Amino acid sequence: MPFIKKYFSKILLPLWVMIIIFSCKKTEVISSGQGTTDQEIKPATDPETAKTMGLFLDTWLPKTFTVPGFTESDIPASTAVTVTVDASEVVTKIPLTSFGHNANTWMTPMVTEPVFMNHITNLKPNIIRFPAGSGSDVYFWNAKPGGLPADAPTMLTDKDNVKKEPGYGFGRTNDNWRASLDNYYDMLSQSGSRGVLTMNYGYARYGTSADPVATAAHLAADWVRYDKGRTQYWEIGNENYGDWEWGYRIDVSKNKDGQPEYLTGKLYAQHFKVFADSMRKAAAEVGAKISIGAVMYESLPESWQTNTVKTWNEGMLPEANNKPDFYIVHNYFTPYDENSTAAVVLGAAFSQPAKMMNYVTQTIAANGAVIKPVAMTEWNMWAKSSKQQVSNVSGVFAALVVGESLVNKYGLAARWDLLNFWAEGDDHGLFSDGTEPNVAKWTPRPSFYYLYFLQKNMGDRLVKSTVQTGNTAIKSYASTFSSGEANVALVNISASAQTVEVKFDNLKKGDRFYWYTLEGSTDNGEFSRKVLINGVAPVGIAGGPADYATLKAKSALSKNGIKVTVPARGMVSVVVGK
Give the pLDDT mean for 503-532: 97
Counting residues of the chain whose pLDDT is more than 70, the rounded percentage is 93
Per-chain mean pLDDT for the chain: 94
In degrees rounded to 5, what are phi and psi of residue 319?
-70, -35
Pair 129, 196: CB distance under 8 Å: yes
In SS3 terms, 309-376 reads as HHHHHHHHHHHHCCCCCEEEEEEECCCCCCCCCHHHHHHHHHHHHHHHHHHHHHHHHHCCCCCCCEEE
Q: Which amino acid is at 346?
A: L
Q: What is the largest CA-CA distance in the chain?
A: 96
Distances (CA, A) of 487 to 20, 490, 507, 509, 567: 36, 10, 11, 11, 18
Give the pLDDT mean for 168-189: 98
pLDDT of res. 14: 40
Measured distance CA(113)–CA(443) in Å, rounded? 12
Give the pLDDT mean for 181-192: 98
pLDDT at 288 over 50: yes
Give the pLDDT mean for 150-158: 98
Q: Residues 214, 220, 222, 224: is their CA dihedral positive or negative?
A: negative
| Tens digits of residue pLDDT in 375-394 | 999 999 999 999 999 999 99
In SS3 terms, 386-430 reads as CCHHHCHHHHHHHHHHHHHHHHCCCCEEEECCCECCCHHHCCCCC
Candidates 514, 568, 129; CA nearest to 392 is 568
Pair 131, 125: CB distance under 8 Å: no
Residues in contact with 531: Cβ distance below 8 Å, sequence separation at least 6, in sequence order:
392, 395, 446, 449, 450, 518, 519, 520, 521, 538, 543, 544
> Which carries the bigger pLDDT value, residue 132 or residue 466?
466
Candidates 199, 203, 144; CA nearest to 171 is 144
Pair 519, 479: CB distance under 8 Å: no
Pairing of strands 461-467, 512-519: unpaired
- Domain residue extents for the chain: 62-93+461-576
pTM, entire model: 0.93
62-93+461-576: which CATH topology? Immunoglobulin-like (2.60.40)
| Tens digits of residue pLDDT in 294-314 | 999 999 999 999 999 999 999
Q: Compute the half-sphere exposure of residue 168: CA atoms within 13 Å on the CB side of its CA.
A: 22
Pair 91, 406: CB distance under 8 Å: yes
Q: Say which range, 14-23, 79-88, 262-271, 491-500, has the weakest mean pLDDT.
A: 14-23
Angle at 71 between CA 70 and CA 76, to 5 degrees: 115
Measured distance CA(184)–CA(150) in Å, rounded? 26
In SS3 terms, 128-178 reads as EEECCCHHHHHEECCCCCCCCCCCCCCCEECCCCCEECCCCEECCCCCCCC
